[in-house]
Amino acid sequence: MPTPPILKDPTQASRHNLDDYARCYASFDWQQAQAQIKGLGLALNIAYEAVDRHVEEGHGELVALRWLGKDGQQVDISYQQLMADTARFANLLASLDVQPGDTVFGLCHRVPQLYTALLGSLKFGAVFSPLFSAFGPEPIQARMAIGQAKVLVTSEALYRKKVQRWRHELPSLQQVLLFDIQGELPDGCLDLDALLPQASDDFSPHRSNPEDLALLHFTSGTTGKPKGAMHVHKAVIYHAYSGRMALDLQPGDIFWCTADPGWVTGTSYGIISPLCNRVTLIIDEQEFDPQHWYQLLARQRVNVWYTAPTAIRMLMKAGAALALGHDLSALRFMASVGEPLNPEAVLWGQQVFGMPFHDNWWQSETGGIMIANFAAEPVYPGSMGRPLPGIRAAIALHQPDGSIQISDSPNQIGELVLKPGWPSMFRGYLHEEARYQKCFVDGWYLSGDLARQDEHGFFWFVGRADDVIKSAGHLIGPFEVESVLMEHPAVAEVGVIGLPDEMAGEVVKAFVALKPGYEPDEALQLALLGHARSRLGPAVAPREIAFRHNLPKTRSGKIMRRLLKARELGLPEGDLSTLESDES
């Protein structure tokens, strides 16, 4: 039986940005969202909407960025200061003979220079592409080559470790701006920390055409070279709108997005969306630590928290008692992104924080949250939620002739598809038009995810189309099996795969990492198998369970089912970078 929904207090609904879903969905048109954007006449600029407009409207003294350093240092950057800093960066680009439309890459940890560079590049009219700082030299080089990098902004340490040895192989790269220089400036590089204060803080944002390229987000997928998803300045309409609707952002909120800024989530909802909604953005340089996270939530009086299922599972593993003693009364809304959120994690949030985590769904290609559980609405644990007003989502059944048929039956499994037209929809894959066109059939965008829609209009994730297990005529989504096993008090993490079987085609195998205090013995293995069979039935439950101390994950925290399967079958694992996917 499905987990009953978590109901909200209806007296609190008026405090939220979306207080009547049915009415808003039925009456919505994109002019409503566009009216919230100030614009530059007929032009648009993401950086202007995120920073300068707030200063013009009298909110310059509000803290835009609060940076928390590893050493305990706190640096507050107001909207006024951020406007000046980004203007200096834009003027610096102009002095270096950079042209609007050139591509600036950022290879940075969570440091203020990244935020200045990203917004300054957009203010100038350049294209910005974030890089995940944990990538090795080869993934970085591949992305910068595809994107024809003109400028790189990075620290001296990252440059020497990951870029310096191959820089000469990338003729398009004309300028390297380094910060945090500890020794002698490397040849052919410029000192960003020295040059930036010398630049003028007076710069009028570039009056970009709404369809001008602004952001380049790379997503590896599962095979082949990285894909550069292209997003335009018009996307800011959706960034601002979806932050209000899906994350319930309100001016003056303290907002913490834990996603790394090298991924699309860390850019769209870790920088642009919150700033467009005039909030104070928390930037934490420290790595994950449960005690530190609870202290941050309490001390910074965080109102809205956007994190990842992996982090939530790690907090669960650390135990609910750790949250006791911290004043989390300022927390109003919690959301999750990156991969489907198990029902057990949603219920755990309700038990520990007095509110559920709200799952949502989107991709690098969509540029923003498409489906969400909203602040004033019931939460069905395990569901992705319902489409935002303005977004039309459906379940498509593929036909033998290559067309698709939109399902009109509740709970039918098919591919999740979207009707194009929202402002943040990607405009193509860089240099790969044919690959882009394959994403669309019969006027619908194909997500590559299998899902179902229930009778209430809520969408439920089943699995990636190439992850679904076909066993004895059943379509089994790994997420469903993983979620049931996560209900057991001994289980910290689960990865589920299908293995070849002569009779059934495939059988289900689960890999389980345990919480502290539990031993991986035969008794626990039998208990987990019994739990799964009682909840799922023998046709869907795992045939076998194997214990692992740790499960292989991508650098963004997703469990790598394909790597588990490759190891189990003795197949070559290949370059792990081809198995990476981004957080969306």
| 87 domain-assigned | yes
CATH code assigned at 324: 3.40.50.12780
Mean pLDDT across the chain:
92
Q: Which residue has the tokens 């345990």?
A: 514
Which pLDDT belongs to residue 559?
86
Q: Are residues 356 and 439 in the same domain?
A: yes
Q: Are residues 416 and 532 in the same domain?
A: no
Q: Are residues 166 and 73 in the same domain?
A: yes
Which pLDDT belongs to residue 12?
63
Among the ranges given (140-144, 188-192, 461-465), the one the predictor scored with the smallest mean pLDDT: 461-465
Which pLDDT belongs to residue 572?
66
pLDDT(50) > 60: yes
- As a residue count, the chain comes to 584
Residue 410's domain comprises 28-453
| 17 domain-assigned | no
Estimate to the nearest angstrom the gap between the alpha carbon of 397 and the chain centroid: 27
Which pLDDT belongs to residue 473?
61
Q: Are residues 345 and 481 in the same domain?
A: no
Q: Are residues 82 and 196 in the same domain?
A: yes
Q: Are residues 449 and 490 in the same domain?
A: no
Q: Are residues 92 and 174 in the same domain?
A: yes
Which pLDDT belongs to residue 11?
62
pTM of the model: 0.85
How many CA within 13 A on the CB side of residue 332?
19
Q: Are residues 37 and 158 in the same domain?
A: yes
Angle between helices 522-536 and 478-486 (to 10 degrees): 120
551: amino acid identity, one letter: L
| 129 domain-assigned | yes
| 14 domain-assigned | no
* DSSP E strand boundaries for 132-270: 149-155, 175-179, 190-191, 213-219, 227-232, 254-257
Which pLDDT belongs to residue 14?
61
Three-state secondary-structure class, residue 449:
strand
For residue 305, what are the CA distances in angstroms to 261, 358, 519?
Answer: 15, 10, 34
| 461 domain-assigned | no
Q: How far apart are CA 168 and CA 80, in angstroms?
A: 39
| 311 domain-assigned | yes
Q: How far apart are CA 85 and CA 441, in angstroms?
A: 45
- Angle, CA of 89, 94 and 100, to the nearest 5°: 100
pLDDT(575) > 50: no
Q: Are residues 51 and 152 in the same domain?
A: yes
Q: How far apart are CA 459 and CA 480, in angstroms?
A: 14
CATH code assigned at 573: 3.30.300.30
Pair of tokens at residue 80: 């006024």
Q: Are residues 437 and 520 in the same domain?
A: no
Q: What percent of the chain has pLDDT over 70?
A: 95
| 330 domain-assigned | yes
Listing DSSP states for 339-389 in one string gives SPPPHHHHHHHHHHHSS-EEEEE--TTT-S--EE--TTS-B-TT--BEEPT
Q: Residue 481: which residues within 8 A CB-CB, separation 6 or more?
A: 494, 496, 508, 510, 532, 536, 540, 541, 542
495-515 average pLDDT score: 88
pLDDT(375) > 80: yes
Domain count of the fold of the chain = 2
Residues 520-571 have pLDDT tens digits of 999 999 999 999 988 888 878 899 999 999 898 876 677 888 889 888 888 7
Residues 192-246 have pLDDT tens digits of 999 999 999 999 999 999 999 999 999 864 445 789 999 999 999 999 999 999 9
Which pLDDT belongs to residue 283?
98
| 291 domain-assigned | yes
Q: Are residues 277 and 342 in the same domain?
A: yes
Q: How far apart are CA 131 and CA 147, in angstroms?
A: 11
Residues 124-180 have pLDDT tens digits of 999 999 998 988 888 899 999 999 999 999 999 999 999 999 999 999 999 999 999
Q: Are residues 404 and 528 in the same domain?
A: no
